[in-house]
């Protein structure tokens, strides 16, 4: 069992300190609209150490970025439970106020370019404080910030802001004084309310003609402490170690997120991002370049909604009480309360940051898929509750050998090793490509997508993962998929992994048979190693998943949003099989009826003991 993040505080935390570090001229990526956003929010940092073994001259940094919400509400304060926990463990936690973007940037700047500029601009100001000291209590951060260890979490559009932060970290888009002058000339009235002296720098020289009074403009920049978003040519990049995208948007396709440990957290009952767009982000970025050593993670939290991870966002964004709705908020439903949702969120967010930003190895077992959730992360603080959270892990190229991901034209004839594939007992089969582009782009399936797998945008109940995959349907038990391994060695790895989506009914079993070149075989039940084979947050029991649970009858016809989730089976679970010389892998589906999607069959070194 993984340790709770709240155990053994090593430092006293500062209070939540409101900071105001000036005003940033930022730019929307939708229409290149230039506007001004304050650089403000809350920060917590470690004070006196409570442990002689926990001393540090410099502290890692973790940043929180909220999403699109009512701009009159202090959304940035909603992650203070995460920040306080991190500060007691030796981290500087900063929660950024992005309300000016929500209120001014053309429907919140769906591109989230300006959110990235705000994150990077905040780090720029913190870098100055680290060198020269800062105002008030922030002066205690001088010579204390470790910019070689930075983590970032973004919620909703803040998640897309995280994606852009990683991309613009190296190729920044800057805003110059000339850009701000052009925005002033185009619409001086938009600056009147908050920056009247800046608007006053615009002078009407003749009917229909305007100019900028340069001395007034410069004086206003000084008065309001306005600075433009820095360009790539003027500012060195930051060393982001970890990025967590919490129920993110993926409006423009979050592509090219490389060389940083990346996690996408998906609430199964998200009423805002009901199409779970973050699944697209994970699928598009799960395989990095061969030189990219960073792992990727998808975290499905069953029964969680969009809002409750933020203590300020108190409205239930999925308020349905419909008796046939999988996510209905009713006494016998699967929904998590706000408090219980945050119990799990605190462990998932903070243990991820502590593992990959702070390199705290006590959390490695959970993020390698081998440890259970701590009881503190469970509803009412009582475990076990691993069926609540399904973790998918994708290691880098150095720690995997891919057998099949179904992206090639001949994927139904041979695998990525060159071995043959044999399918038997299925009445319908479809090979589906991964689409690129914005969140409405749908992949092409050959010969066609199977019924109940349809991906049709918001509030769909089909398969929401868009990775290249195989769709399978059968009406008789023991349909099989056999892939030839050709004598390959898996000695460098510790696990067989594959991703599967259960489309109907609510539970499935997979019998996994491994055979070596001498003919020795062993078969295991995949459900003994994973909670991914059951749609609901119920553990394997009472015959599940082979026996249909009567409480799931309303959902058995496919009324649930499905994702491709990982099953990981230790190679040591196949007794007598020589992993150094494998001949074939067989997946058997013993249930009498079913529809599933399968992809990413591979051997991985997860780091199991």
Q: Taken in order 468, 469, 470, 474, is the CA torsion positive or negative?
A: negative
Q: Supply the DSSP symbol for 190.
A: G
Poorest-pLDDT segment among 50-54, 237-241, 562-566: 50-54
Element (H, E) at 162: helix 157-168
Q: Say what the pLDDT of residue 50 is.
A: 67
Q: Is 326 exposed, middle or buried (0-12, 13-18, 19+ CB in 10 A)?
A: buried
Are residues 414 and 546 located together in one domain of the fold? yes
For residue 589, which of 507, 530, 532 has the smallest C-alpha distance? 507
Q: Are 11 and 90 in contact (CB under 8 A)?
A: yes
| Residue 4 within a domain | no
For residue 274, which of 462, 449, 442, 113 has the smallest C-alpha distance? 462
* Per-residue pLDDT reduced to its tens digit, 264-308: 999 999 999 988 999 999 999 999 999 999 999 999 999 999 999
* Per-residue pLDDT reduced to its tens digit, 66-102: 999 999 999 999 999 999 999 999 999 999 999 999 9
Domain boundary among 354, 379, 394: 394
Token pair, residue 413, equals 């004839």
* Per-residue pLDDT reduced to its tens digit, 462-503: 899 999 999 999 999 999 999 999 999 999 999 999 999 998
Q: How far is it, in rounded angstroms, from Cα 281 to Cα 160?
A: 9
Q: Supply the DSSP symbol for 231.
A: P
**Between 53 and 453, the higher pLDDT residue:** 453
Number of domains in the chain: 3
Q: Are 100 and 72 in contact (CB under 8 A)?
A: no
Q: How far is it, in rounded angstroms, from Cα 352 to Cα 243?
A: 9
Tell me the three state secondary structure of residue 282: helix
Are residues 431 and 485 located together in one domain of the fold? yes
| Residue 452 within a domain | yes
For residue 42, which of 23, 25, 63 has the smallest C-alpha distance? 63
Q: Say what the pLDDT of residue 51 is.
A: 61
Are residues 384 and 434 located together in one domain of the fold? no
Are residues 270 and 245 located together in one domain of the fold? yes
Q: Supply the DSSP symbol for 440.
A: T
Q: Is the pLDDT at 44 greater than 90, yes or no?
A: yes
Q: How far is it, in rounded angstroms, from Cα 326 to Cα 535?
A: 10
Are residues 223 and 367 located together in one domain of the fold? no
Q: Is the pLDDT at 52 greater than 80, yes or no?
A: no
Residues 274, 279, 284: CA angle, nearest 5 degrees:
145
Q: How far is it, in rounded angstroms, from Cα 492 to Cα 477?
A: 35
| Residue 3 within a domain | no
Q: Give the CATH number, domain containing residue 520.
A: 2.60.120.260
Token pair, residue 145, equals 């910030």
Q: Taken in order 172, 176, 181, 184, is the CA torsion positive or negative?
A: positive
Are residues 416 and 540 located together in one domain of the fold? yes
Q: Supply the DSSP symbol for 75.
A: G
Element (H, E) at 310: none
Q: Taken in order 467, 472, 473, 479, is the CA torsion positive or negative?
A: negative
Q: Is the pLDDT at 457 greater than 60, yes or no?
A: no
Compute how many other C-beta atoms are within 10 angstroms of the C-beta atom of residue 548: 16
Token pair, residue 282, equals 């994970």
| Residue 338 within a domain | yes
- C-alpha distances in angstroms, 342 versus 41, 63, 289, 347? 21, 18, 34, 9
Are residues 217 and 122 located together in one domain of the fold? no
For residue 508, which of 472, 561, 559 has the smallest C-alpha distance? 472
Q: Give the CATH number, domain containing residue 347.
A: 3.40.50.1820
Residues 93, 94, 100: CA angle, nearest 5 degrees:
165
Q: Is the pLDDT at 455 greater than 60, yes or no?
A: yes
The arithmetic mean of pLDDT across residues 149-161, rounded, is 96
Percent composition of the chain: helix, strand, coil (DSSP 3-state, to 5): 25, 30, 50
Compute how many other C-beta atoms are within 10 angstroms of the C-beta atom of residue 136: 10
DSSP strand pairing (59-65 vs 521-525): unpaired
Q: Say what the pLDDT of residue 458 is.
A: 47
DSSP strand pairing (521-525 vs 511-516): antiparallel
Q: How far is it, in rounded angstroms, from Cα 433 to Cα 411?
A: 11
Residue with the two structure tokens 């001395």: 215
For residue 479, which of 403, 524, 412, 422 has the smallest C-alpha distance? 422
Q: Are 116 and 29 in contact (CB under 8 A)?
A: no
Q: Is 605 exposed, middle or buried (0-12, 13-18, 19+ CB in 10 A)?
A: middle
Are residues 219 and 248 located together in one domain of the fold? no
Q: Are 300 and 390 in contact (CB under 8 A)?
A: yes
Of the pLDDT bands very low, low, confident and very high (cuts 50, 70, 90), residue 556 is low
Q: How far is it, in rounded angstroms, from Cα 401 to Cα 399?
A: 7
- Cis amide leading into 384 (omega within 30): yes
Are residues 125 and 262 located together in one domain of the fold? yes
Domain boundary among 360, 394, 428: 394
79 Cβ contact partners less than 8 Å away, ≥ 6 residues apart: 64, 66, 95, 153, 155, 310, 311
Percent of the chain with pLDDT over 70: 96
Token pair, residue 285, equals 């970025």
For residue 44, which of 64, 23, 27 has the smallest C-alpha distance? 64
Compute how many other C-beta atoms are within 10 angstroms of the C-beta atom of residue 210: 13
Are residues 486 and 589 located together in one domain of the fold? yes
* Largest distance between two CA atoms of the chain: 92
Domain with 196, as residue range(s), is: 178-228
| Residue 444 within a domain | yes
Q: Say what the pLDDT of residue 460 is.
A: 57
| Residue 262 within a domain | yes
Please count the CA atoms within 13 angstroms of the CA of 33 that sit on its side-chain side.
20
Are residues 318 and 416 located together in one domain of the fold? no
Of the pLDDT bands very low, low, confident and very high (cuts 50, 70, 90), residue 104 is confident
Q: Tell me the Ramachandran region of residue 457: left when phi exceeds 0, alpha when psi lies from -120 to 50, beta otherwise.
A: left
| Residue 542 within a domain | yes
Are residues 70 and 166 located together in one domain of the fold? yes
Token pair, residue 83, equals 């920040």
The arithmetic mean of pLDDT across residues 178-206, rounded, is 93
| Residue 1 within a domain | no
Domain boundary among 345, 379, 394: 394
């Amino acid at each position: 069992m993984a340790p709770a993040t709240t155990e053994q505080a090593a430092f006293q935390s500062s209070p939540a300190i409101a900071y105001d570090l000036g005003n940033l001229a930022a730019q929307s990526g939708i229409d290149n609209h230039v506007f001004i956003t304050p650089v403000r929010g809350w920060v917590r940092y470690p004070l006196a150490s409570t442990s002689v073994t926990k001393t540090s001259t410099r502290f890692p940094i973790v940043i929180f970025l909220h999403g699109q919400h009512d701009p009159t509400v202090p959304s940035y304060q909603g992650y203070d439970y995460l920040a306080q926990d991190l500060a007691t463990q030796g981290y500087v936690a900063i929660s950024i106020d992005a309300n000016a973007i929500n209120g001014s940037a053309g429907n919140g700047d769906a591109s989230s370019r300006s959110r990235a500029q705000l994150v990077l601009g905040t780090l720029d100001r913190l870098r100055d404080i680290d060198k020269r000291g800062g105002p008030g209590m922030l002066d205690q951060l001088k010579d204390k910030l470790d910019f070689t260890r930075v983590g970032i979490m973004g919620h909703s559009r803040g998640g897309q802001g995280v994606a852009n932060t990683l991309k613009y970290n190296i190729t920044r888009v800057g805003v110059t004084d000339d850009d701000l002058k052009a925005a002033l000339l185009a619409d001086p009235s938009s600056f009147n309310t908050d920056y009247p002296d800046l608007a006053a720098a615009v002078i009407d020289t003749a009917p229909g003609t305007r100019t900028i009074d340069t001395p007034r403009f410069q004086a206003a920049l000084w008065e309001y402490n306005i600075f433009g978003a820095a360009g790539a040519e003027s500012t060195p990049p930051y060393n982001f170690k970890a990025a967590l995208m919490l129920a993110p948007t993926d409006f423009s396709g979050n592509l090219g997120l490389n060389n940083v440990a990346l996690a996408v957290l998906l609430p199964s009952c998200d009423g805002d991002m009901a199409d779970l767009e973050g699944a697209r982000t994970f699928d598009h970025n799960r395989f990095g370049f061969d030189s990219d050593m960073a792992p990727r993670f998808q975290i499905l939290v069953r029964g969680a909604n969009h809002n409750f991870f933020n203590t300020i966002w108190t409205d239930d964004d999925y308020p349905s009480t419909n008796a046939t709705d999988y996510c209905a908020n009713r006494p016998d439903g699967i929904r998590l309360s706000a408090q219980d949702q945050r119990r799990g969120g605190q462990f998932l967010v903070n243990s991820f940051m502590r593992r990959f930003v702070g390199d705290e190895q006590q959390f490695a077992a959970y993020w390698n898929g081998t440890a259970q959730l701590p009881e503190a992360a469970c509803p009412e603080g009582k475990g076990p509750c691993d069926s609540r959270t399904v973790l998918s892990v994708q290691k880098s190229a150095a720690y995997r050998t891919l057998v099949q991901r179904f992206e090639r034209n001949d994927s139904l004839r041979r695998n990525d090793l060159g071995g043959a594939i044999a399918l038997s007992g299925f009445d319908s089969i479809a090979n589906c490509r991964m689409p690129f582009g914005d969140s409405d782009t749908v992949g092409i399936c050959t010969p066609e997508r199977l019924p109940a797998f349809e991906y049709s945008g918001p509030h769909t109940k089909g398969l929401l993962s868009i990775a290249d995959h195989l769709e399978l349907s059968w009406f008789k038990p023991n349909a099989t998929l056999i892939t030839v391994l050709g004598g390959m060695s898996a000695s460098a790895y510790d696990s067989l992994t594959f991703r599967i989506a259960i489309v109907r009914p609510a539970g499935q079993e997979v019998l996994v048979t491994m055979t070596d070149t001498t003919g020795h075989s062993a078969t295991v039940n995949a459900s003994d190693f994973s909670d991914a084979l059951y749609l609901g947050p119920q553990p394997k029991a009472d015959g599940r998943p082979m026996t249909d649970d009567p409480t799931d009858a309303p959902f058995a016809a496919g009324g649930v949003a499905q994702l491709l989730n990982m099953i990981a089976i230790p190679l040591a679970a196949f007794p007598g099989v020589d992993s150094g010389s494998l001949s074939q892998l067989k997946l058997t589906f013993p249930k009498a009826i079913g529809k599933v999607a399968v992809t990413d069959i591979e051997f991985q070194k997860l780091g199991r003991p």
